[in-house]
Amino acid sequence: MEFVREAGRVAGVVVERWSAAGNDRVVTERATLRADRFVLAAGSGNGELVRRATGLEMPTFTSFHQLPYIRNAPDLDLVQARRPAGADGSRDVEIADLPVISHWRDIYFRPEGSGLVFGVHHRERQDDDYRPRGGVIDTGAFRMHVGMDQVLVDRMVELMPHFPALSSHGLNLGRSPADIAGGSYYMNPEELPFEGEVPDTGGTVFYAGSGCGTGFKLGPGVAWLLAQRLWGVPRADRLVPSAALSAERATYFYPPGTSREELLRLFRPVAAGGRLIEMGAAGIRPPG
């Protein structure tokens, strides 16, 4: 996507329609969409859009998280519970009765049908277009390629003695990454989503996102804050009067050419010269 700039403002975006020709894309149509204001809400695509619109660099990095499935195998025998579902709660679904979040070990389990999914809060920072590559389980006696990324394999093996479900026959290790659900945590050093104005656009481009692991539950609030900003609601009257969920809480836009290493340094703990505030997998700052 290209941005059309006029007199220091972004005046439009060029969008393309394309069709696939083998492995190539053939552009069949281009059109310029003009508007007074634009909101960038493209998940892990947001950093690239800001770069294209302004050249500015952001301390936002992908951290790809996979959620392996553990079916309810005989060695688990999870208790099942009936819960109301649907908008009016008129139908029942049966699910495993076992939601668990552990901040202490940085792993969480959630019911998924009659089984579970689990995730770990790893801190690898990858390129924004990162796709999982799979990993290797190597016990010395055997070596097996699995769909879980290595960072997840290593963490899972470490946590197995504490969470027997990880040793269950029901665990799907996956043959390739495509066998395991996953997606991007789009991280920033404060580990919370934010909204705000993108500088150098004459007040025409706005940012919403970088949800880290909490953008789903906080997304509606962040979107409302941005709407209030666009309507000109004074800060004191907004949903969150502080800058806690807004770009003003820290520096997010760095000069063109700022290196990846420089931006990654911000993810060091405060005591080490960075500004990382660990919020944990549930968007809650763990004690200590």
Q: Which residues bind ligand FAD (CB under 6 A)?
A: 1, 41-43, 45, 65, 67, 119, 182-185, 209, 211, 213-217, 219
List, in sequence order, every beta strand (DSSP E) within the chain.
2-6, 9-21, 24-34, 38-40, 61-67, 69-70, 80-85, 91-96, 100-102, 107-112, 115-120, 135-138, 143-146, 181-187, 194-197, 205-209
- Residue entry with tokens 């998280």: 65
Q: What angle do CA 133, 274, 123 make, to 5 degrees?
A: 20
118 near 109, Cβ under 8 Å? yes
Nearest distance from C-beta of residue 234 to ligand FAD, angstroms: 26
C-beta of 176 vs 259, nearer to ligand FAD: 176
Q: How far is the CB of 70 from ligand FAD (least distance, A)?
A: 15
Nearer to ligand FAD, 230 or 265 (CB): 230
Cα 76 vs. chain centroid, distance in angstroms? Answer: 30
Residue 65 or 229: which CB sits closer to ligand FAD? 65
In this complex, which beta carbon is closest to ligand FAD, that of residue 169 or of residue 217?
Answer: 217
For residue 143, the minimal CB distance to ligand FAD (Å) is 27
CB of 46 to ligand FAD, least distance (A): 7
**Helix/strand/coil for 29:** strand
The nearer residue to ligand FAD, 98 or 265, going by C-beta atoms, is 98
* Cβ closest to ligand FAD, residue 204 vs residue 210: 210
Minimum distance from residue 282 beta carbon to ligand FAD (Å): 7
CB of 52 to ligand FAD, least distance (A): 9
The 10 Å Cβ neighbour count of residue 34 is: 10
d(CA 212, CA 283): 9
Nearer residue to ligand FAD within complex by CB, 14 or 270? 14
> Ramachandran region of residue 113, left (φ > 0), alpha (ψ -120 to 50) or beta?
left
In angstroms, what is the minimal distance from the CB of 104 to ligand FAD?
18
Q: How far is residue 29's CA from residue 267's CA, in Å, rounded to a whole number?
A: 41
Q: List residues bridging with 30 in a β-sheet.
A: 16
CB of 217 to ligand FAD, least distance (A): 4
Nearer to ligand FAD, 57 or 191 (CB): 191
CA separation for the pair 39, 206 (Å, rounded):
5
Tokens coding 82: 């009936």
Residues 282, 90, 72: CA angle, nearest 5 degrees: 55
